[in-house]
């Protein structure tokens, strides 16, 4: 687990081809470097299935939502399936406003 000023990310491996990224706390300007580092590490894992567990992400600013969307697009470009699990209402709304709801798999 890594943490920085309110953002905690767990990377779990339920099997050899699956990665779960479990987000806790707030993703904003203060935690952006931590988010970038964790997403970059996850991108190097070459998982075929990536779960973004978002239920405990209590806040995300527009940059964080775009970073998550870019990660999801990149993973799909490498042939992975990306699943957004239990995004908060705030995250769903912001993703919709930014036009990235489909990229993140949120509705």
- Residue 102 contacts by C-beta under 8 Å, 6 or more apart in sequence? none
Using the CB atoms, write b or e for 63-89: b if 16+ within 10 Å.
ebbbbbbebbeebeeeebebebeebbe
Q: What is the total count of domains within the chain?
A: 1
- Render pLDDT for 31-83 as a digit per residue (tens, 0 to 9): 999 999 999 998 998 899 999 999 999 999 999 999 999 999 999 999 999 99
- Percent of the chain, pLDDT > 90? 80
Is the predicted pLDDT of residue 3 greater than 80, yes or no? Answer: no
Predicted confidence at residue 58, as pLDDT, reads: 93
Predicted confidence at residue 1, as pLDDT, reads: 47
Using DSSP's 3-state secondary structure scheme, residue 56 falls into strand
Mean residue pLDDT across the chain: 91
What's the CATH number where 66 sits? 3.30.750.24
Band of residue 106 on the pLDDT scale cut at 50, 70, 90: confident
Half-sphere exposure in the Cβ direction for 48 (13 Å, CA): 4
Residue 96 belongs to domain spanning: 2-104
């Amino acid at each position: 687990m890594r943490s920085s000023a309110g953002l905690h990310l767990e990377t779990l491996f339920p099997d050899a081809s699956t990665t779960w990224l479990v987000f806790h706390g707030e993703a904003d300007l203060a935690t952006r470097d931590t988010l970038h580092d964790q997403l970059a590490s996850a991108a190097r894992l070459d998982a075929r299935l990536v779960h973004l567990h978002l239920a405990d992400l209590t806040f995300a600013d527009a940059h964080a939502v775009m970073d998550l969307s870019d990660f999801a697009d990149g993973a799909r470009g490498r042939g992975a399936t990306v699943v957004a699990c239990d995004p908060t209402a705030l995250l769903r709304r912001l993703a919709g406003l930014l036009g990235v709801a489909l990229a993140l798999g949120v509705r």
